[in-house]
A and B are shown apart, each in its own frame.
Chain A
Amino acid sequence: MPDGAVIEFSNITKTFGTVTAVNDLSFTVEPGRVTGFLGPNGAGKTTTLRMLLGLVAPTSGTATIGGIRYRDLPRPLQTVGAALEAASFHPGRTARNHLAVYARAAGLPAARIDAVLHLVGLSAHGGQRVGGYSLGMRQRLGLAFTLLGDPGVLVLDEPINGLDPEGIKWIRGFLRAMADEGRTVLVSSHLLSEVQQSVDDVIIIATGALVHRGTLASLETEAAPRILVDSPDRTALAAALGHAGIEFSVGRTGLLAAAPDAALIGHVAFLAGVELSALHRERKGLEEAFLALVNGGGDTHGNETGNASGGESR
């Protein structure tokens, strides 16, 4: 069983000309857990991962795997498996030959090729030229490349893009299984909802800087609480909330009130004599907390869990 290793970024920065793609980023990724690496488009996720993998040279700072830079790893593919967003295949090569080239370079036995094709569900298409592959099949082939060396560390850039629902379900179970085996799993996405079912920890960046790191649960507790409340007489309910000074917005199934708990809203309604037809905590808090963090930009950069601003309902 391959062992996971700690991934560590310390003060890593990358500038492209005048653009600062990644700005003084520091965080660690632990083995045995699935870590979501989140941020909106252009946040610097891909650049950060490419720096980890020695493909992009950092302007300053370091990125290591088990304390070793990628380019110094004695057996890179057997240590780290990486799938990056851009599909990197020669269209005229078959999937099996594509894998064979890199298995040769890494000194891996040919038996691994069929093993990984089978793992990602491409056994029947291994002899097909990659030029004829669909987006989802390319994603799977990218994943097959990742697994070639049976590495203890997995680095996946937007692996869910282009997968069908069955594929998404499969990859979620797969990531979980990998982490449960003790491997380190770092998976990027620009959508929290895409990975929230499968991650333990989250690292959130915006415009190249860290805005949040911690467990998924910590993000949830930070989410600004919102209460969904409805009444047969919505106008009266709205008036009552307004009178009590509680902010709210009108949702499809009722009013979304910015309040710490449901009891307060119930009390306000009771005092105003308004009948309620619904009253419960809104469950969308995670996504909202995420959006508030990334829209806040890098101003809370470097902070630990617990003092992220934002989360107000609009």
Chain B
Amino acid sequence: MTSFSRAIGAEFAKIGTTRMWWILAAVMFGYIALLAGGLSALFAGIESGAISPDAVGSGSQGLPSFGSLPPLIYSFASSIGYVFPVLLGALATTGEFRHQTLTPTFLANPRRGQVLGAKTIALFVMGAVLGVVALLASVGVGALVIGAFGLDPLLGESATWALIGRTVLAMAVWATIGVGLGVLVPSQVASIVIVLAFTQFVEPLLRFASLFTEVTQGIGNYLPGAASDALVGASFFTLAAPGGTAAAMLEWWQGGLVLLAYAIAATVIGYMVSWKRDVT
């Protein structure tokens, strides 16, 4: 075995020997299942006539046509769940600083770039695993509820399966963005605050604000969350655009490349500002 493959094995062992990943997976599953199940029930209920539109307020003219509902629900896996792989990646990296495990890590493998590369690969895979768990919640629970109302959950559509595959990819890349953030901001508390503030507050606001003019909309497309939604191919924001015009998103592969660029930029800059520094 080469030292690189051993390094990857060690990074997997680090994740597997602490409880963090499955705590995050469990919380994520519950959160997405609740939202996907609840919203599926609401929309499918209205669509099937089981719930009267008047019962949910100002009527259904703002609601999407039903055909776009299942993909919207399924995309919750990444559009809502992406914060979890980012946290996993950031915790895996900042934990090394916080618990001073960089010392034994670099003693066992002094090739620091190789260690960071191995961590990125391990987290990419773990991000994909979280993606599968998130899809079990969004597609699994969502399709069950939609089907229960006698509607078509669109599971036979190739577009649905493309969305599922690209969601796994998006979640994997998000985990590597977390690694990059962790080396960029090695303080664990600061990192967590940044992840939560940015994903839950700053970016949604920016994205919403950017929708009001065409120029800002073009820029807004390059925000990481927007790029992720473009990669996956469906998003709540495409429906919430003011005036009802669906915002023109990037192509899915463009979104993927933008997301990847964030991951690489954060990791490379982080490598220089913290990873290769003195370990004292």
Contact = CB atoms under 8 A, between A and B. Distances in A.
Contacts of B104: 88, 101-102, 145
Interface in B98-149: 99-111
B10 A55 contact: no
A70 interface: yes
A105 interface: yes
Contacts of B279: 50, 55-56
B13 A56 contact: no
B1 interface: yes
Given A90-B18, A94-B17, A101-B10, A76 B278 contact: no
Contacts of B3: 107
Secondary structure class of chain B's binding surface, majority of residues: helix
Interface string A62-94: 000000001101001100101010111111111
Given A47-B280, A102-B108, A107 B101 contact: no
Interface residues of B, number: 29
A76 B110 contact: yes
Interface in B1-50: 1, 3, 6-7, 9-10, 13-14, 17-20
Contacts of A53: 107
A100 B17 contact: yes
A82 B107 CA distance: 8
A252 B203 CA distance: 74
B95 interface: yes
Nearest to B278: A56
Given A88-B104, A92-B18, A106-B6, A100 B99 contact: no
Contact of A86 (B6, B14, B103, B106): B103
A84 B13 contact: no
A72 to B, nearest CB: 8
B17 A105 contact: no
Contacts of B9: 104-105
A54 interface: yes
Contacts of B278: 50, 55-57
Contacts of A89: 99, 101
Interface residues of A, number: 35
Contact of B6 (A73, A82, A93, A107): A107
Contact of B99 (A50, A76, A88, A106): A88
A102 B10 contact: yes
A97 interface: yes
B280 A107 contact: no
B116 to A, nearest CB: 13
Nearest to A75: B3
Interface string B134-171: 00000000000000000000000000000000000000
Contact of B280 (A56, A70, A77): A56
Contacts of A71: 110-111
Contacts of A145: 104
Nearest to B96: A90
B107, B110, B279, most chain A CB atoms within 10 A: B107
Contact of A105 (B99, B100, B108): B108
Given A56-B278, A93-B18, A76 B107 contact: yes
Contacts of A92: 18-20
23 contacts: A46-B280, A53-B107, A55-B103, A55-B107, A55-B280, A56-B278, A73-B110, A82-B107, A87-B100, A88-B101, A88-B102, A90-B95, A90-B99, A92-B19, A93-B18, A94-B17, A97-B13, A101-B13, A102-B105, A102-B107, A105-B7, A107-B3, A107-B6
Given A55-B278, A56-B280, A94-B17, 8 more contacts: A71-B111, A90-B95, A90-B101, A92-B18, A93-B18, A101-B104, A104-B9, A105-B9
Top 4 closest pairs, chain A to chain B, by CB: A105-B10, A97-B17, A71-B110, A105-B108
